[in-house]
Amino acid sequence: MAETDKKAKVINKSGTLKMTDETAAKKDIKDIAGKKMDRKNRRDRVKADVAPKEFDEITIAVDRVSRTVAGGRRMRFKALVAIGNHKNKVGVGVAKGNDVTTAVAKATSKAKKSMITFNMDGETICHEVRTKVTGADVLMKPAAPGTGIIAGGTVRSIMGLTGVKNLISKSLGSTNKVNIAYAVIEGLKQQVPRKEWNGAKKESK
């Protein structure tokens, strides 16, 4: 064996040969066609993943749904996802997929497209609002600082992605999570800032 080969290779305990780290680092990586490929460093990929996200997302519910077709039942998954920036932007999306991952990805994409910007009064909502979406009936009231979010699971999950820190809420109708989520979004859309209240009163007088 030549001297260069001895330096390039190291014998393991099992008796097999392997290249040294220095030799492996200098070696070119080629694809099937023989073209040189760029060497990607795993540390760079980790740094890219750790970069802060503009919006946070949460999967509120994943349900298994079925559809009867000619050959029998077709099983799929339905995901409800909420997305927000912990300020005054929030969105909700619902989608179906053949597996959970696909359903969540589709729902997240829909939530991003349907994001709304709502008005806030400090760390609470501007005024009391009651919204109905099909069977869901949600009542939301502003609360004093230090109250926290007094709400059920779906409302709490959505509000956790906004800048609202104090809220009192009650679900008066259906317990369907999808309808409750849309009712919450509708209630946030209807928020009118306090300045516009005063303006409306002056005009009416």
* 189 and 122 housed in the same domain: yes
Residue 37: pLDDT band (50, 70, 90) is: low
The domain boundary residue, chosen from 67, 100, 116:
116
Average pLDDT over residues 110-130: 92
How high is the pLDDT of residue 50?
47
* Six token digits for residue 47: 């740094």
In a domain, 17, yes or no: no
| Band of residue 133 on the pLDDT scale cut at 50, 70, 90 | very high
Q: Are residues 88 and 122 in the same domain?
A: no
Q: Residue 26 corresponds to which amino acid?
A: K
Closest CA to 150 of 175, 173, 125: 125
pLDDT at 54 (0 to 100)? 80
Domain count, the chain: 2
* CB-based burial label for 91 (10 Å; 0-12, 13-18, 19+): buried
- Domain harbouring 177, CATH code: 3.30.230.10
Q: Is residue 175 scored above 70 in pLDDT?
A: yes
* DSSP H stretches of helix in the chain: 3-8, 21-26, 42-50, 100-113, 153-159, 177-189, 194-204
The mean pLDDT value for 96-110 works out to: 94
**Calpha distance 180→92 (Å, rounded):** 11
Q: Do the domain assignments include residue 18?
A: no
pLDDT of residue 194: 83
- The answer to whether the beta carbons of residues 181 and 91 sit under 8 Å apart is no
pLDDT, tens only, 52-71: 578 899 999 999 999 898 88
Tens digit of pLDDT for each residue in 2-21? Answer: 555 545 555 566 666 666 66
Residues 128 and 96 in one domain: no
Report the predicted TM-score, pTM, of the whole model to 2 decimal places: 0.69
> Average pLDDT for residues 92-107, to the nearest whole number?
94
- The full DSSP string for 6-44 is HHHEEE-TTS-EEE-HHHHHHSPEE-TTS-EEPPPPHHH
Residues 79 and 61: beta-carbon distance below 8 Å = yes
Is the pLDDT assigned to residue 146 strictly greater than 80? Answer: yes
pLDDT of 197 reads: 76
Domain hosting 109: range is 56-116
Q: What is the pLDDT of residue 15?
A: 62
Which class for 73: exposed (0-12), middle (13-18), buried (19 or more C-beta within 10 A)?
exposed
Residue 10 near residue 20, CB atoms below 8 Å: yes
3-class DSSP state of 128: coil
Compute the mean pLDDT over every residue in the chain, rounded to the nearest whole number.
82
In a domain, 32, yes or no: no
- What is the percent of the chain where pLDDT is above 90? 58
Q: Give residue 166's pLDDT.
A: 94
Torsion angles phi and psi, residue 32, rounded to 5: -65, -35
Q: What is the pLDDT of residues 17-34, one digit of tens each?
A: 666 666 666 666 676 666
Same domain, 103 and 135: no
